[in-house]
Structure 1
């Protein structure tokens, strides 16, 4: 089936180039903590996307329940983003050695688990993600009904999309990690401050958008 493959790729490209808190968080995580932390963070994002797609396709009532609490989810997501931004802006330290070079961190299992959880939460605590997947799931389900094998059609579209997004996120981590080796501690501190401000801005915008226009969202 070529048609669902192409549709999945188009949807994946759209997601990959969308500007939002996730892309900045991936870059921040990778530049600050290296490629290992970046890959774990991306894994958390990917798992959250898979969970949302499954909920949209298989558990409509559960999705509707989540959507009915979109304001609470938005506030939780806003608090999470703003807290992460404040920590990055004011408290994130750049560790250096005696030669003033950036030190590579060693992560324990619980550190990696926390990074994975932060990747999962930054994606799932965004009502816009639910609405995006619901809109596309509805369109693809309707489209699949015109094909001989609807379930196979939907599976190809979503698997292709999710894999493409995962590979592009992995590429972002790899590029950010290569950039990290060329950064000085002072430049990294400036990047942290900019990243913190961006995350705070996204958090405020998320909360404001849902509180101001949430009642207009179907």
Structure 2
């Protein structure tokens, strides 16, 4: 079935090139903590996308209930982004060896669990991601009704989309890893400060958008 495959690819392309806090967080995580931490963060982001797709398709009532609390979710998301941004900007330390070369931190299992959850919730608490999946699921479900096998049609679309996004995020980790090998401590401190400011900016913009709705 070429049609659902192509729609899945287009949908995945749209999502993977969308500029948001997650893309900067993937790059920041990979540069600061190495490719393994980047992959774990990406796994958390992908898991949240899978969760939202399943909820949209099989638990529409639950998703509609969640949407009714989108302002609360947005505020929680903005607080999360600002907190991560402040930590990155002011408290994130760059580890170097005696030759001033970057060190890759050794993580324990619970550290990786924390990285996974940060990726999961950073993506999950973004109202834009909520609305993206809700809008496209509604369109794909309506479109699938004209197909011979609607369930198979939707499965191909969303599986293709999710795999494309996952591969695109993995590519970002790989590219960030290549960049990391060329950085020194001074460069990394600058990137951390820039990443922190960007995350704080996204958090403030998200909160500002919610407050504007209450006027």
Shorter-chain TM-score bucket reads over 0.9
Pairing 1:40-189 to 2, within 5 Å after superposition: 40-189=40-189
CA contact (8 A) 1:71 1:214 kept: no
Between the two proteins, the alignment pairs up a number of residues equal to 215
TM-score by length of 2: 0.98
Deviation at 1:214, TM superposition (A): 7.6
Partner SS for 1:95: coil
- Name stretches of at least 5 consecutive residues in structure 1 with no aligned partner: none
- Name stretches of at least 5 consecutive residues in structure 2 with no aligned partner: none
Q: Find the aligned partners of 1:135 and 1:207 in 2 and give their Cα distance.
A: 22
Partner SS for 1:37: helix
Alpha-carbon RMSD: 1.0
Deviation track 1:160-214 (CA, whole Å, cap 9, x = no partner) reads 0000000000000011011101101000000000000000000011111233248
Partner SS for 1:148: coil
Q: Find the aligned partners of 1:193 and 1:137 in 2 and give their Cα distance.
A: 37
Deviation track 1:49-70 (CA, whole Å, cap 9, x = no partner) reads 0000000010011101111111
Deviation at 1:127, TM superposition (A): 1.2
Q: Find the aligned partners of 1:214 and 1:34 in 2 and give their Cα distance.
A: 42
Q: Find the aligned partners of 1:49 and 1:207 in 2 and give their Cα distance.
A: 22
Partner SS for 2:176: helix
Structure 1 runs (4+) deviating above 3 angstroms are none
Deviation track 1:38-96 (CA, whole Å, cap 9, x = no partner) reads 00000000000000000001001110111111111111100000000000000000011
Q: Find the aligned partners of 1:114 and 1:214 in 2 and give their Cα distance.
A: 34
